[in-house]
Amino acid sequence: MPRTGRTHSIPRLAGSVAIVAVGVAGNTGFDTPLRTIPALVLIAVGIAGVTSTAREAETAQLRRVAKRWWVLAFATFLPYALATAPDSDSAAAVGDALAGPVSGLVLESVAGAMALCAVSMSILYAFAWYGIHPGRPTPEERVLADGGDD
Q: At what angle do helices 4-29 and 36-52 cross, to 10 degrees?
A: 160
Residue 5 confidence class, pLDDT cut points 50, 70, 90: very low
Whether the CB-CB separation of 84 and 77 falls below 8 Å is answered with no
pTM of this prediction? 0.77
Give Cα separations from 146 to 43, 53, 93, 141 (angstroms).
Answer: 40, 31, 63, 9
**pLDDT at residue 103, rounded to an integer:** 78
For residue range 57-88, what is the model confidence (pLDDT) as tens digits? 888 899 999 999 999 999 999 888 877 776 67
Decide if pLDDT at 145 tops 90: no
Parse the chain into domains and list their residue ranges: 4-146
Between 9 and 51, the more confident residue is 51
